[in-house]
Amino acid sequence: MARLNPGRLSLRGLDPARQQAVSVSVATGAYAISFGALSVAAGLDVWQTMALSLLVFSGGSQFAFVGVIAAGGGAAAAVATSTFLGLRNGFYGVGLAPVLRPMSGLRRVWAAHMTIDESTAVSLAQPADDLEARRAGFWWTGVGVFILWNTITVVGALVGERIGDPADWGLDAAAAAAFLGLVWPRLASRPAQAVAGASAVLALLLTPVTPAGVPILAAALVAIAVGWRAPKFRDEVPE
C-alpha cells in the first residue's frame, strides 16, 4: 500500500533503491500527459504519438521533436534535434556498464532502451559498493517509467484531441517546467550556470532568424564545445 508523504512517495516493504525508483517513475510518468497533448496539437495523430513514446522513449528528445514540428520546422530539423538530444543516453551507458554487466542478446538491447536520465540517476545515486541496489534502481526505474510514460502518453493524446489548444490548460508550460526540473540540479556550479546562460542567449538570438530546431542545435553545440575544451583547460592548470 502506497502512502504519500510530504515531498516524497514512500512504499512499505521496499528497500530505498526501489522506493526511489517508484517515486521517480510516478513523477516522470505524470507529465507524459503533457507530451501526449502537445504532440496531437502539433499535428501528429494518436498512433504516431504512441510510437514516439514507445520507440524513442526519451522525454527530452520527444518534446524537442514535437516542439520543432509545432513551430513549423521540417521533419529533418525535428529528427536532427531529437537525435542530437538523445545522444546523451549513449554517454550514460559508459557509467552504467560496470553496473549492468554481464549482458548479451535481447537483455542488452532492452537495457539500452531503458537507459534514460531517470534510470541512470537513481542507479548511480545508490552506494557504489552495492551493485544489487544500483541494478535494482536502474531496472525498477527504467521499466516503471516506460510503463507509466507510454500509458499516460495515450491518455494525454486522447485528451489533447478534445481540449483544443493545450496552452489554454497550461500543458505547454508543464513541459517547460519538467525540463527545468531536470536541468536545475545540474546547474549548481558556476561553469554550468555560465554554459546554460550562454546557450540560452544564443538560442534567443537565433530564434527570430533561423528555422525551427536550429536554435536548439546551436545552443547544444555551446555545451559540447565547452565540454570538449574542458579537459585541455584542466591540463593547463598547474598542480
Sole residue written with cell 536545475: 184
* Dihedral pair phi/psi, residue 207, rounded to 5°: -55, -45
Check residue 207 and give its pLDDT.
81
**Listed residue (29, 33, 66) closest to 149, CA to CA:** 29
- 161-194 pLDDT, tens digit each: 887 666 676 666 655 665 666 566 667 778 878 8
pLDDT at residue 6 is higher than 50? no
Residue 154 CB burial class (10 angstroms; 0-12, 13-18, ≥19): middle
pLDDT at residue 71 is higher than 90? no
Calculate the average pLDDT of the chain.
Answer: 81
Rounded CA gap, 166 and 175, in Å? 11
Check residue 8 and give its pLDDT.
46
